[in-house]
Amino acid sequence: MKSVTVKCPAKINLTLEIVNRREDGFHNIKSIMQMVDLYDTLTISVSENSHNEIILNGNSDEIPYNEKNLVYKAADLFFKESGIEGVKAEIFIDKKIPVAAGLAGGSTDAAGTFFALNEIFDRPLTKEKLHELCAGLGSDLNVCLEGGCVLATSRGEKIRRLKAASYPVTIIKPKNLGISAKEAYTKYSLKENKPKYNMTEKMLEALNLGEDITKYLYNDLEYAVYDDYKELQTIKDIYPDSIMSGSGSSYFVLRDIESALNNDYQIISGLKFIDNGVKIINN
């Protein structure tokens, strides 16, 4: 039996601007995404078997442990693309990243699965092929595989590494509210007025010059869902400099804070920007 442990970091969207809706139903975006040191940890063990078998377990009761999980889909796709047969893969998901929070928890776990299985089997797939598989499975996987600070375009799968900044991060998550990407993008599509602030380009210039980026934080999907949820309005009222990440419901501020919220909110403080994506921590 071979076993590895892979750390899968969360991402935040420093900017998220929607360019247009695509013919396939997805949206073209411009987004600067940044990985932070909040991790899910996957322990993946493989052994010989009469046929390929994938078994998932974990510590969260908020995610499925079957073929609906992106980790299962990633493992299944890896075996099909690599041609590897006769393997039982047992994967334990130690989940620390909040679910349905706009932090790419599912995506980073799937990217970590691709990466770890490729390492276990002595890299049968190139990095380019891994990125191709990531792009086929979801919009944020490529960012999580690459890591650091990334400009993501198209539906999020086209990426370019950026000059890194350095900020403390605090994440604020309503405990009883999750917002799906489908809901957020649908609500954005229904908005008659769609502001165009061009914050991504402004932040790119600030990053290149090493200037303060906090005044350019922006998210079109926050604009789409904000009016529908009192929980989001409460966060913004107390922390006016906070911005929603992804499709929410998490917000973040680029500073350390003293919590002024009640127990209906989860505060994850003491985080920082990191320059890596998924990574193995043992062999």
**Does residue 140 have an active-site annotation?**
yes
CA of residue 49 relative to chain centroid, distance: 32
Instruction: Decide: 148 and 30 in contact? Cβ < 8 Å.
Output: no
Pick from 2, 1, 71, 74: nearest CA to 40: 71
Radius of gyration over every alpha carbon of the chain, rounded to an integer in angstroms: 19
pLDDT per residue as tens digits for the range 53-108? 999 999 999 999 999 999 999 999 999 999 999 999 999 999 999 999 999 999 99
Query: For residue 279, what pLDDT is reported?
Result: 96
> Going by C-beta distance under 8 Å and a sequence separation of 6 or more, which residues neighbour residue 31?
13, 14, 15, 16, 17, 151, 152, 153, 156, 200
Could you tell me where the DSSP H helices lie in the chain? 70-82, 105-120, 127-137, 141-146, 181-190, 199-209, 220-225, 230-238
* CA 114 to each of CA 67, 79, 256: distance values in angstroms, whole numbers, following the listed order: 15, 10, 34
How many domains is the chain built from?
1
32: left (phi over 0), alpha (psi -120 to 50) or beta: beta
User: Which portions of the chain are predicted below pLDDT 70?
Assistant: 25, 282-283
Here the CATH number for the domain that contains residue 278 is 3.30.230.10
Pairing state between β 158-161 and 149-153: antiparallel
Considering the candidates 7, 95, 109, 140, report the single residue annotated as catalytic.
Answer: 140
Q: How many whole angstroms separate alpha carbon 74 and alpha carbon 204? A: 32
Considering the candidates 7, 11, 30, 95, report the single residue annotated as catalytic.
Answer: 11
- Boundaries of domain holding 109: 1-283
* CA 5 to each of CA 151, 194, 278, 281: distance values in angstroms, whole numbers, following the listed order: 28, 43, 11, 6
**Does residue 11 have an active-site annotation?**
yes
Alpha carbon dihedral 153, 156, 158, 164, in 10-degree steps, equals 80
Residue with tokens 């010989």: 48
State the maximum Cα–Cα separation within the chain, in Å, rounded to a whole number: 58
Query: For residue 194, what pLDDT is reported?
Result: 87
Instruction: Decide: 89 and 46 in contact? Cβ < 8 Å.
Output: yes
